[in-house]
């Protein structure tokens, strides 16, 4: 592969990854992974263009982590999520390898590219803020993630500007880009970005202090002070104008997430399995209308994620890679180029923010981090590369990042815009083609079940068989998620109320609702849905028990009170009138105020009080 080609591919991946939800959209991921796969294949087939590789210590620790993650993925109940995590690990490792192979060309190409990207995203965030957005995020969706990327860019550019050979015009251009990036950090108001800038800048000063003159030191300290102050002002302005009741919610998420490590210290939840496990890690908020209205799906800390998802051995291997990188940097700090020093500062900033944010969910950040790590880790090759091993690794990477990614993308592209529920013939054809391309995705099977079930009371035994088989297959693909267990329960409940009006089918639906509840013990919508079904199925005692469970989880739920009132009236008749009146009064007293907007679908389904139901119950009491 020609000199500089690897570096150009790495820079292209860094640029593409900042587009489309910070690189998380299907199209952006496809382009990133195809670029990486093509670069790896070309590099291996053409032979190395330079004699550089990642240094041995960090490389060994990283490979240990990757192997332990792969072992955890084999045992993971949700295979597709585990596969996606392994693909991201492979992509990260491949970018590190590509970047380390061409340190000199990459040092020339990366700073101007990052400057253009940082200026663009910083300016976009400022425009969004001026246009009225309270938390602008450019293309990243999450302002904390934009702040992290811009902070890393600022630190990289700060190191690059220490290069005495830079022309005055280039310094001015980098200065403008840095100012725009800092403006972007300012308007995000990200606490994590402020932390990253502060610690990354401190590391940059430490690495460069002995290499510059006294005047340059003063200028450097002044610049760092301005950068840190800018980020801090953004945080202060944000919390002065934003009355966020969840501003310290993250510390409780960290405590709750640690329970996953305690439950399974060696293997963790498994790669990609934490979102399902988090349903039973949620904690009550007693100062909110609903105790469990604020759910979480990540630990909101990559440090914790390494332990929660991969277990202690794999987490320690990942931390070992960081420690080896730090040790190598300290030992060779005098030989570092200005760009490498900036990369070190940026990596420290990203590592600091990763302790308090879930940066690994945004490919733009992981790709940039991999690129910077490869630049810092590059060392001369000690011995010729083993061709056979390189070919084997390249085949695996190309299969995962190329062939596998294309199949997954086609399945996503065919299905993501389809509505849920009944589909017309052309939409159903698209869904079936999506399943053929990606049969590992449980949501595609669940969509098929929802379509077959969509005929309602008029559906046939044939469509019931399709719905049941699809829902059961979705639950087999992801047995740890309450969403798919509830999908099975809904199929059984609909059949019980129409084409299979038997006690056995009703009881099967109730058992499936119980299984869904076991997988999400803090979700009151599951027992509420069960209670409504049992009322329709003619089981008031069962409905009463389910509604009482929903109220036990969410004592302020008006919808659960109405359901319980209906069950009491159906079971006890006039003997339950007093309890029914009390429940109706409590439901109306706790109903949302006129014009109040629900905070979530969970809030809307539990706090809403149906006026028609209240009227019919009061009419029944009057009679």
Judge if 599 and 483 occupy the same domain. Answer: yes
The alpha carbon torsion through 311, 317, 323, 328 (nearest 10 deg) reads -160
Judge if 499 and 386 occupy the same domain. Answer: no
Judge if 360 and 479 occupy the same domain. Answer: no
Check residue 574 and report its DSSP letter. Answer: G
Phi, psi of 52, deg, nearest 5: -115, 145
Number of alpha carbons in the 13 Å side-chain half-sphere of residue 432: 10
Whether 409 is covered by a domain: the verdict is no
CA gap 470, 444 in Å, rounded: 9
Judge if 229 and 320 occupy the same domain. Answer: yes
Tell me which residue of 82, 556, 623 sits closest to 287, measured CA to CA. 556
Judge if 346 and 457 occupy the same domain. Answer: no
CA gap 73, 311 in Å, rounded: 12
Judge if 81 and 152 occupy the same domain. Answer: yes
pLDDT in tens, 146-203: 999 999 999 999 999 888 888 889 889 999 999 999 999 999 999 999 999 999 999 9
Task: Find the DSSP H helices in 209-248.
Answer: 214-241
Whether 412 is covered by a domain: the verdict is no
* Count of Cβ atoms closer than 10 Å to residue 465 Cβ: 11
CA gap 341, 204 in Å, rounded: 6
3-state secondary structure of 170: helix
pLDDT < 50 stretches in the chain: none
Number of alpha carbons in the 13 Å side-chain half-sphere of residue 381: 15
3-state secondary structure of 600: coil
Integer CA distances (angstroms), 124 to 20, 131, 137, in order: 14, 10, 8
Judge if 221 and 352 occupy the same domain. Answer: yes
pLDDT at 40: 85
Q: Is 217 exposed, middle or buried (0-12, 13-18, 19+ CB in 10 A)?
A: middle
Residues paired with 54 in a beta bridge: 378
Number of domains the chain contains: 2
pLDDT at 102: 82
Judge if 433 and 305 occupy the same domain. Answer: no
CA gap 609, 604 in Å, rounded: 10
3-state secondary structure of 370: helix
Which CATH number is 562's domain given? Answer: 1.25.40.10
Whether 407 is covered by a domain: the verdict is no
pLDDT at 389: 54
Question: Contact, 182 vs 152, CB < 8 A?
Answer: no
3-state secondary structure of 300: coil
Residue ending a domain, choose from 402, 436, 468: 402
The H or E element that residue 489 is part of is helix 482-496
Tokens 């006039």 sit on residue: 574
Check residue 595 and report its DSSP letter. Answer: T
Question: Contact, 353 vs 196, CB < 8 A?
Answer: yes
Question: Contact, 428 vs 402, CB < 8 A?
Answer: no
Judge if 213 and 347 occupy the same domain. Answer: yes
| Residues of the chain above pLDDT 90, percent | 66
Whether 256 is covered by a domain: the verdict is no
Question: Contact, 98 vs 43, CB < 8 A?
Answer: yes
Residue 94, domain extent = 5-243+263-272+298-402
Judge if 389 and 512 occupy the same domain. Answer: no
Question: Contact, 305 vs 299, CB < 8 A?
Answer: yes
Residues paired with 380 in a beta bridge: 52
Question: Contact, 7 vs 99, CB < 8 A?
Answer: yes
Whether 56 is covered by a domain: the verdict is yes
pLDDT at 229: 87
Judge if 206 and 101 occupy the same domain. Answer: yes
Tokens of 202: 């401190």
**What residues contact 205, with CB distance under 8 A and at least 6 apart?**
220, 221, 224
Judge if 357 and 444 occupy the same domain. Answer: no
Residue ending a domain, choose from 402, 433, 463: 402
Whether 279 is covered by a domain: the verdict is no
Whether 101 is covered by a domain: the verdict is yes
Whether 250 is covered by a domain: the verdict is no
Cα angle at 533 between 532 and 538, to 5 degrees? 100
Burial 497-526 (b: 16+ CB within 10 A, else e): beebeeeebbebbbebbbbbbebbbbbbbb
Tell me which residue of 54, 134, 41, 139 sits closest to 93, measured CA to CA. 54
């Amino acid at each position: 592969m020609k000199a500089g080609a690897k570096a150009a591919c790495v820079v292209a991946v860094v640029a593409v990854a900042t587009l489309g939800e910070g690189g998380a959209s299907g199209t952006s991921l496809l382009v990133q992974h195809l670029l990486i796969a093509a670069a790896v294949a070309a590099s291996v087939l053409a032979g190395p263009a330079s004699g550089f590789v990642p240094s041995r210590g960090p490389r060994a620790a990283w490979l240990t982590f990757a192997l332990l993650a792969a072992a955890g993925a084999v045992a993971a109940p949700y295979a597709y999520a585990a596969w996606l995590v392994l693909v991201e690990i492979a992509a990260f490792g491949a970018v590190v390898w590509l970047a380390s192979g061409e340190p000199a060309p990459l040092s020339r190409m990366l700073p101007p590219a990052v400057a253009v990207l940082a200026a663009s995203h910083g300016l976009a965030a400022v425009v969004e803020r001026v246009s009225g957005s309270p938390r602008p995020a450019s293309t990243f969706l999450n302002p904390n993630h934009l702040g992290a990327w811009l902070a890393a860019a600022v630190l990289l550019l700060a190191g690059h500007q220490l290069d005495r050979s830079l022309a005055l015009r280039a310094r001015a251009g980098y200065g403008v880009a840095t100012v725009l990036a800092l403006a972007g950090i300012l308007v995000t108001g990200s606490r994590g970005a402020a932390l990253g800038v502060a610690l990354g800048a401190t590391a940059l000063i430490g690495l460069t202090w002995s290499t510059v003159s006294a005047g340059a030191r003063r200028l450097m300290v002044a610049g760092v002070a301005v950068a840190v102050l800018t980020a801090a002002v953004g945080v202060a302005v944000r919390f002065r104008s934003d009355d966020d009741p969840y501003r310290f919610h993250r510390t409780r998420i960290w405590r709750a997430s640690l329970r996953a490590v305690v439950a399974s210290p060696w293997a963790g939840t498994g790669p990609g399995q934490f979102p399902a496990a988090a349903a039973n890690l949620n904690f009550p908020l007693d100062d909110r209308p609903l105790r469990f209205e604020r759910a979480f799906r990540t630990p909101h800390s990559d440090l914790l994620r390494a332990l929660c998802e991969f277990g202690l051995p794999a987490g320690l291997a990942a931390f070992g890679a960081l420690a080896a990188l730090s040790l190598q940097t300290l030992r060779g700090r005098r030989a570092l180029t200005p760009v490498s020093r900036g990369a070190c500062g940026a990596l420290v900033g990203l590592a600091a923010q990763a302790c308090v944010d879930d940066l690994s969910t945004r490919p733009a950040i992981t790709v940039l981090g991999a690129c910077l790590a490869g630049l810092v880790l590059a060392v001369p090759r000690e011995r010729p590369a083993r061709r056979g091993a390189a070919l084997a690794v390249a085949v695996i990477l190309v299969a995962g990042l190329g062939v596998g990614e294309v199949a997954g993308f086609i399945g996503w592209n065919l299905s993501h815009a389809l509505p849920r529920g009944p589909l017309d013939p052309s939409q159903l054809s698209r869904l079936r083609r999506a399943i053929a391309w990606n049969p590992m995705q449980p949501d595609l099977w669940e969509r098929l079940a929802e379509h077959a079930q969509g005929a309602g009371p008029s559906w046939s035994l044939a469509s019931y068989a399709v719905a049941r088989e699809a829902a059961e297959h979705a639950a087999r693909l992801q047995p740890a998620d309450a969403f798919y267990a509830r999908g099975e329960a809904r199929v059984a409940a609909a059949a019980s109320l129409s084409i299979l009006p038997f006690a056995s089918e009703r009881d099967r639906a109730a058992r499936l609702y119980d299984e869904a509840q076991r997988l999400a013990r803090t979700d009151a919508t599951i027992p509420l849905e069960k209670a409504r079904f049992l009322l329709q199925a003619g089981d008031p005692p069962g409905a009463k028990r389910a509604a009482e469970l929903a109220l036990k989880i969410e004592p302020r739920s008006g919808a659960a009170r109405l359901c319980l009132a209906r069950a009491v009236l159906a079971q006890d008749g006039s003997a339950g009138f007093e309890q029914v009146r009390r429940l109706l009064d409590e439901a109306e007293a706790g109903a949302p105020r006129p014009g109040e907007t629900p905070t979530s679908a969970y809030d809307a389904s539990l706090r809403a009080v149906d006026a028609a139901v209240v009227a019919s119950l009061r009419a029944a009491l009057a009679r």
